[in-house]
Amino acid sequence: QERFPHKQNKQRITGGIEFAIDGCEETAWTTDIGPGRRNQPRNAIFRLDKPVSFDGGALLTIKLVMRHGGWNSDDNQNQNLGRWRLSYTSAEKADETLLPQRVHEVLAVPAAERSPEQVETLFTYWRTTVPQWEEQNARIEKLWRSHPAGSSQLVMMERDNMRSTHRLDRGDFLKPKETVDPGVPKFLNALHAEGGHEPDRLDFARWLVARDHPTTARTIVNRIWQSYFGTGLVETAEDLGTQSPAPSHPELLDWLAVELMENDWSLKHIHRLITTSAAYQQSSHVTPELLEKDPKNRLISRGPRFRVEGEIVRDIALSASGLLNPEIGGPPVHPPSPEFLYQPPVSYGPKQWHTDTGAERYRRALYTFRFRSVPYPALDAFDTPNGDSACVRRVRSNTPLQALTTLNETVFLEAAEALAEKTLAEGGKSEDERLTYAFRRVLTRPPNAKEKDALLSMLERQRKRFETGGLDAKEFVGKASPELAAWTTVARVMLNLDETITKE
């Protein structure tokens, strides 16, 4: 019996033929009999408890109900039958020795003309029908049951006979016009096919990285520049065509593209060039004069300064608090998220979201599971794109929801509490030492006098509120500790500072 998780936290089981008639939607008899043996031909014979007869004859309707796979397309474990065939007989005893269709097909081939694979098919079936193979069959079945689950991956293959492709009149597939062939725009360098055949995907791949085709290299270095400076040399990194703004530094863009091509397309070389440049290493401090002349820093008059991506906002809080789980790879994780998001009507259909506990809860945001129709809210607030389309340029917004997220979202609250606990345990004995310790963990620098006075003053005010009962420490941090609650409040402020989530 093989088990699959069910949306409503039930267990769905596949097994013997008795599961086909037990009236339970959590059990099923299917063509899937375990890893390594998916979509196997199966036969089943159902005998009626009492014969069916009607004077004058009747029309029987047979209804197949396959609810085991779930009621909508959100369920990934559909166990529905396909290519099924029904037969009936009035014989008192049905023939239980029906040969599988694949065996019938092989038997139709003369013995001398059968391939090794066809002989193997016959032998595999034959050994299941003779008693002298029972022991070996049991051992083979045991091995099949230990077969790893594995996964499937679709790949692209060229068709033997290519389809004809037509220009569609106004995009209507019912109005095909003239035939079109694979090619590239004529204003670009020509696409050549090797071997005299029509250009294929391999020829197109070679064309993309050809020395006389700099568009690919320009696109790559522009996106790398965007990742460091917040904006690419061409502002619209997703569009370097005639509809895009002109490059702010066209000669620099071309020089970087040539550097990439002449250094074996080494991305490390481009990263090193940019990060060691005077342009990148200059201060991000801006004067009123510079702001007036270069408000968006398109002239690179100062170093980059912009809010980091949504995933990094979360990771900064986890890293500063000591909660971040740095494990690399593995399956996606499910950090805390509002449960109502995964139920109708917010979600198209009910979805599973089992909140992780322990270290998995604090893995990097990169590993957060994402539904196409229900984005993870803490990341969505910081303009993180959903997964249904490619996104090479994120447009940053500034909204009150972002500040509310870093103040009140569950993981950010847990990070603030963890930072407070770490500060009290490792930060020193005096409040001055503890504040400096926490400030360094968050901002990698000590606080100045003004910042220190403001935070210490806040710490004292919050401590009094918790001690006098104005605020409930146990409700806030789960412990009756005014000291921990007060430091958690200060930690929340530090994790919510503009400088904390800004690259500069």
For 400-448, give the DSSP string. HHHHHHHHHSHHHHHHHHHHHHHHHHHS-SSHHHHHHHHHHHHHSS---
| Res 170: pLDDT | 93
Of 437, 421, 441, residue with least CA distance to 497: 441
Q: What is the DSSP letter of 302?
A: S
| Res 16: pLDDT | 80
Query: Would strands 176-180 and 165-168 be described as parallel, antiparallel, or unpaired?
Result: antiparallel
| Res 112: pLDDT | 93
Of 384, 414, 227, 385, residue with least CA distance to 324: 414
Please give the C-alpha separations between residue 288 and each of 224, 293, 499, in angstroms, as whole numbers.
Answer: 29, 9, 20
Please give the C-alpha separations between residue 503 and each of 48, 213, 443, 486, in angstroms, as whole numbers.
Answer: 74, 34, 11, 28
| Res 260: pLDDT | 96
Task: For residue 166, give the 3-state DSSP assignment.
Answer: strand
Of 456, 460, 463, 464, residue with least CA distance to 438: 456
| Res 379: pLDDT | 92
**Domain positions in the chain:** 1-97, 99-147, 215-293, 306-320+370-504
| Res 243: pLDDT | 86
pTM of model > 0.85: no
For 250, residues 6+ apart whose C-beta sits below 8 A from its C-beta are: 233
Give the pair of three-digit tokens for residue 340. 């109502």
The residues pairing with 28 across neighbouring beta strands, listed in sequence order, are 14
Exposure of 139 by Cβ count < 10 A (0-12 exposed, 13-18 middle, 19+ buried)? exposed
Q: Is the dihedral of CA 481, 483, 485, 488 positive or negative?
A: negative
Question: In the chain, how many H helices and how many E strands?
Answer: 17, 7
In angstroms, the CA 196 to CA 44 distance is: 54
In angstroms, the CA 313 to CA 396 distance is: 13
Q: What is the pLDDT along the chain (504 residues), one digit of tens a residue?
A: 444 444 445 566 777 888 888 888 777 888 777 778 877 888 888 888 888 888 888 888 888 877 766 554 454 445 677 788 888 888 877 766 678 888 989 999 999 999 999 999 999 999 999 999 999 999 999 998 888 877 778 888 878 888 899 999 999 999 999 999 888 888 888 888 877 777 888 899 999 999 988 999 999 999 999 999 999 999 999 998 888 899 999 999 999 999 999 999 999 999 999 999 999 999 999 899 989 999 999 999 999 999 999 999 999 999 999 999 999 998 999 999 998 998 888 888 888 899 998 899 999 999 999 888 888 999 999 999 887 788 899 989 999 999 999 999 999 999 999 999 999 999 998 999 999 999 999 999 999 999 999 999 999 999 999 999 888 888 888 888 899 999 999 999 999 999 999 998
| Res 73: pLDDT | 47
* Residue 492: Cβ within 10 Å count: 20
Roughly how many angstroms between the first and final C-alpha of the chain, as a whole number? 57
Query: Would strands 11-14 and 27-28 be described as parallel, antiparallel, or unpaired?
Result: parallel
Torsion of CA 447, 448, 449, 450, to 10 degrees: -90
User: Do 29 and 44 contact (CB within 8 A), yes or no?
Assistant: yes
Please give the C-alpha separations between residue 408 and each of 210, 467, 496, in angstroms, as whole numbers.
Answer: 51, 22, 10
| Res 488: pLDDT | 94
| Res 346: pLDDT | 85
Torsion of CA 81, 86, 92, 97, to 10 degrees: -60
Longest dimension (CA), the chain: 102
Angle between helices 410-426 and 400-408 (to 10 degrees): 50
Chain centre to alpha carbon of residue 199? 33
Of 193, 253, 410, 456, residue with least CA distance to 318: 410
| Res 76: pLDDT | 46
| Res 145: pLDDT | 85
